[in-house]
């Protein structure tokens, strides 16, 4: 689709009226995914703020810098398209723990979150409800149990040990992404210890926030979902409330990942319609 390609390449800012997929309703959460490879980093760099460019320049490897720049540039293009403004008009501020938010005049707040790993990015958007997304590349040569013992709750460590060895890496990254998405949705950053709450992790079981040992009511406040992702990636989405529906989109070069099989037919169709072939 031409409009998706324009955002993908950073070449034009679109208004929601020109791109129906960007009409974000208060009962919706939009999830976008994109490969960060093969994109014009120099164009996306022109959209970034001085502090973002400073962060980009701290990366040691060119590939890591490029991925950061492209991910931030895509985020700004998508936000501008939702709001019907130019990227240069976007204004940001930061919460007490560093979570960014938009400064808007007379518009319903667009909440957003970004995650990228190993050349791939996920972007989540909502109107007026907190959310967090995390995407990770599944590494095979990884000391999963060692890291779990250090960061996971006792219940999660036991659950991980009970998973068959061939599924343990998948279970670890299920747990990790769900925990990361949760603390990102709360805006807590690293100030919230990861062992103070439990999430599900066993492959094949639904994503869920099981316990919060400090704030029991948190379990009812949030919904947690695994997100569709290509092979070798795992992702999670955490959203405030339960009265919302997910719509998935992609900005792919050259092909989009298949959406999860349990997505409604209408959402699967829209996901495919916005993919770039």
Domain residue spans in the chain?
Answer: 34-108, 130-241
pLDDT tens for residues 7-33? 544 443 344 434 444 789 999 999 999
Residue 106 in this model has a pLDDT that exceeds 90: no
- pLDDT for residue 248 is more than 60: yes
pTM of the entire predicted model: 0.84
Q: What is the pLDDT of residues 133-181, one digit of tens each?
A: 999 999 888 889 999 999 999 999 999 999 999 999 999 999 999 999 9
CATH code at 130-241: 3.90.470.20
**Fold match between 34-108 and 130-241?**
yes
User: How many residues appear in the chain?
Assistant: 277
Range of lowest pLDDT (35-39, 79-83, 188-192, 235-239) = 188-192
Superfamily the domain 34-108 falls into: 4'-phosphopantetheinyl transferase domain (3.90.470.20)
pLDDT tier, 233 (very low <50, low <70, confident <90, very high otherwise):
very high
């Amino acid at each position: 689709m031409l409009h998706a390609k324009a955002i993908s390449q950073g070449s034009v800012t679109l208004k929601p009226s020109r791109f129906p997929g960007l009409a974000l309703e208060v009962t919706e959460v939009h999830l976008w995914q994109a490969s960060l490879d093969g994109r014009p980093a120099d164009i996306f760099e022109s959209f970034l703020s001085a502090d973002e460019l400073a962060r980009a320049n701290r990366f040691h490897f060119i590939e890591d810098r490029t991925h950061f720049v492209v991910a931030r540039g895509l985020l700004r293009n998508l936000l501008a398209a939702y709001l019907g403004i130019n990227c240069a008009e976007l204004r940001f501020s930061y919460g007490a723990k560093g979570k960014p938010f938009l400064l808007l005049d007379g518009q319903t707040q667009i909440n957003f979150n970004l995650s990228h790993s190993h050349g791939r990015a996920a972007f989540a958007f909502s109107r007026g409800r907190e959310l967090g997304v995390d995407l990770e590349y599944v590494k095979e040569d990884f000391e999963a149990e060692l890291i779990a013992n250090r960061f996971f709750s006792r219940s999660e460590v036991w659950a991980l040990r009970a998973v068959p060895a061939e599924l343990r890496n998948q279970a670890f990254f299920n747990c990790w992404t769900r925990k990361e998405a949760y603390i990102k949705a709360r805006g807590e950053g690293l100030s919230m210890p990861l062992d103070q709450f439990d999430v599900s992790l066993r492959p094949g079981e639904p994503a869920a926030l099981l316990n919060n040992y400090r704030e029991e009511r948190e379990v009812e406040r949030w919904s947690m979902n695994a997100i569709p992702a290509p092979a070798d990636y795992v992702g999670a989405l955490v959203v405030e409330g339960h009265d919302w529906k997910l719509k998935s989109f992609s900005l792919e070069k050259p092909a989009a990942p298949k959406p999860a099989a349990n997505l409604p037919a209408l959402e699967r169709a829209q996901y495919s319609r916005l993919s770039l072939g």
